[in-house]
Amino acid sequence: MRARIGAGSLELRRGDITREGVDAIVTAANSALAGGGGVDGAVHRAAGPELLAECRKIGGCPTGDAVATPPGRLPVRAVVHAVGPVYGACGGREDELLARAHRRALEVAGEAGCRSIAFPAISCGVYGFPVERAARIALETIRDHLLGGSPPHEVRYVLFGARELEVFRGALRELVERDPRVVLGG
Ligand code: ADP
């Protein structure tokens, strides 16, 4: 499923983010940038040990922020390590922090010269964010970025499971209905 937003595009698809042919892939990192399970484990496995070495040079990243590193042996220009909130552990600021993690991921990818980017469902695994709510926040934040006209202009949201994909599709349909700037197809 695909939508045109401003001069950019947003695509939802099911898949494994380590296999996306884009300039930047985002991983759902922890604030120590220490590697972990879930999507971050998959990204570090695919990238090799150089990625952890790059993370160690940076040292850490606060919740709601993102940093870009060289990609190790992944065939992309950059890996963006975005730190989403642990649901229920951020004093009610979870929505804002999830939006900010997405916004910062887009900004640092743009600064690294990336024109296309692929996101996983940040915070929707071990961090326990309800997927319906996360989908609305993620898609609205990406819409705002695309309307702003800065790179990256091509955004993919890559869902690992069929249920997550269905939820994100529903959220995109709702966004299309209430925002005429978001147009299906293209
Ligand atoms: P968090 O700790 O931020 O919740 P997780 O890695 O536990 O991060 O989960 C985030 C999302 O990433 C989940 O929806 C999970 O199904 C998904 N995921 C796991 N592996 C991959 C992968 N290889 N590609 C894309 N998404 C993945």
pLDDT digits (tens, 9 = 90+) for 100-119: 999 999 999 999 999 999 99
Question: 25 and 118 in contact (C-beta within 8 Å)?
Answer: yes
What residue type is assigned to position 126 of the chain? V
Q: Can you tell me the distance from the alpha carbon of 146 to that of 157, in angstroms, rounded to the nearest whole number?
A: 14
CB 80 within 8 A of CB 92: no
pLDDT tens for 41-83 read: 999 999 999 999 999 999 999 999 999 999 999 999 999 999 9
Output the average pLDDT for the chain: 97
Q: What is the pLDDT of residue 155?
A: 98
130 pLDDT exceeds 90? yes
Q: What is the whole-number distance in angstroms between the Cα of residue 38 and the centre of ligand 1?
A: 5
Boundaries of every domain in the chain: 2-179
**Residue with CA at minimum distance from ligand 1 atom 10:** 125
The model scores a pTM over 0.85:
yes
Q: Measured between alpha carbons, how far is 51 from 73 in angstroms, rounded to an integer?
A: 8
pLDDT in tens, 165-185: 999 999 999 999 999 999 999
Length of the chain: 186
Q: 23, 40, 65, 95: which one is catalytic?
A: 40
**CB distance 109 to 152 below 8 Å:** yes
| Residue 96 structure tokens | 């804002």
CB-side neighbour CA atoms (13 Å) of 107: 13
Q: Which two tokens stand for residue 36?
A: 């972990």
CA 183 / ligand 1 centre spacing (Å): 27
CATH number for the 2-179 domain, one of 1.20.1440.130, 3.40.220.10, 3.30.70.270, 3.20.20.70? 3.40.220.10
Check if 16 is active-site. no
Q: Cα–Cα distance between 79 and 58 in angstroms, integer?
A: 13
Q: Which atom of ligand 1 is nearest to the CA of 124?
A: 4
Burial of 11 (0-12, 13-18, 19+ CB in 10 A): middle
Q: List the residue whose alpha carbon is closest to atom 5 of ligand 1.
A: 125
- Of residues 137, 107, 155, the one with CA closest to residue 8: 155
